Amino acid sequence: MPVPIHLQLAQQIVDTLKTICSHDINYIDINGRIFASTDPARVNGYHEGGHRAARLGEIVTIEEDDPVKDVRRGINMPIRYHGKTVAVIGITGDPEGVRRYADLAQRITLLLLREQEVDSRYYDRRTQTGYLVRALIDNEMLPSGFISEVLAKNGMSDDAEQWRTVVIQLCSETREPLASIELAVQDISERMGNCLYAYRFPNEFVILFKESGLSSWKRALRSLASRFSEDIRVGVGSPGRLSRQDLSFQAAKMAIHSLPSGENVAFYESVRLELLLGGVDKAAGALYIRKCLHDLDGEDRELLGHYYASEMSLKETARRCCLHINTLQYRLNRIRERCGLDPRSFRDAAALYAALRLEQMASP
């Protein structure tokens, strides 16, 4: 196999997954052999669907049981690690019922594979780099000389140049397989160079890059965000010393929280009001939202979103919402009557906008 997998780890993976989904799980090597299973009778048997998934590099679904061939219905997901298919996870059961566990199964498997990599003799530059990135963004103490050592292994020096942190956050439900997104992120990191990369369980990729490459990184990240428009949200943090990338990481997360509806990439420079709103106590924020938005329904909130995105232009809002200008005026009047704040008044509009942004930032 491209990456040696210990039997103990393979069994840990299937046992962990079964506690979550209550279905039998098979860990299948790239030759179709069932390496570990929650059904001991199947260990060392041949798994045709798993073998096909490994060859094709895509999910293979088995719709019907075939007792003669010892084939059971379910889904078989290839697991890619460092750009290579290393195994297949098979979940037995009704395909529609077990498919919802596919993404979680991939994430848990990748996490456990990384743990093995850290704990084994295959501990390498990539693993050290990942550890450094996670320590920097969490502002943890590091051994003396460790930063310089890891930078040197990545062909970089510990100079005085400023860095930025990129957070690429997976949406709760992704259209593309996790492995495809991870491969694209790794590809950008390797192609751009002068950066440090890590996966942060359970749903974030983190890249640290030098400020001198900002313009190139902007183009690359916008391209990535466009390619996976329904799967990821991208935030780029503030510039700062490498040793204080925890601040840039927080700014990148703030940029993600500031994203308006329909967009999935934001830079620290575009974040303004959100810097203040991000520091609002949750209880106070919830109280403010209730105070300003009470009695407004989803349609009211959506209309206000378009209204503010149109810079409060009635003509542009009417065009966006496919409404007659008189209908739009009526809807804005109705909002004023419902919550007591007039969207056309500067002070009231600012209050409503702040409440809407707080509500959006509080959403997962």
Domains of the chain with bracketed CATH: 7-119 (3.30.450.20), 125-271 (3.30.70.250), 282-362 (1.10.10.2840)
| pLDDT tens-digit map of 252-297 | 988 888 787 678 998 988 776 766 676 677 888 889 889 999 889 9
Q: What is the mean pLDDT of the chain?
A: 87
Tell me if 204 sits within 8 A of 111, measured CB to CB: no
pLDDT > 90 in the chain, percent = 47
Name 245's Cβ contacts closer than 8 Å, sequence gap at least 6.
136, 137, 163, 165, 208, 237
Which of 343, 299, 340, 342 is CA-nearest to residue 323? 299
Reduced to 3 DSSP states, what percent helix, strand and coil does the chain have, rounded to the nearest 5? 55, 15, 30
Note the maximum CA span of the chain.
Answer: 74
Coil, strand, or helix at residue 225?
Answer: helix
- Token pair, residue 168, equals 């690429």
Instruction: Report the distance separating Cα 353 and Cα 313, nearest Å.
Output: 15
What values do phi and psi take at 344, rounded to 5? -90, -10
Examine the pLDDT at 76 and tell me if it is beyond 60: yes
Predicted confidence band of residue 179 (pLDDT cuts 50, 70, 90): confident
Examine the pLDDT at 138 and tell me if it is beyond 50: yes
Which of 177, 162, 237 is CA-nearest to residue 207? 237
Residue with tokens 């890590």: 198
Residue with tokens 């997954």: 17
pTM as predicted: 0.57
Examine the pLDDT at 345 and tell me if it is beyond 50: yes
What pLDDT is stored for residue 1 in this prediction?
38
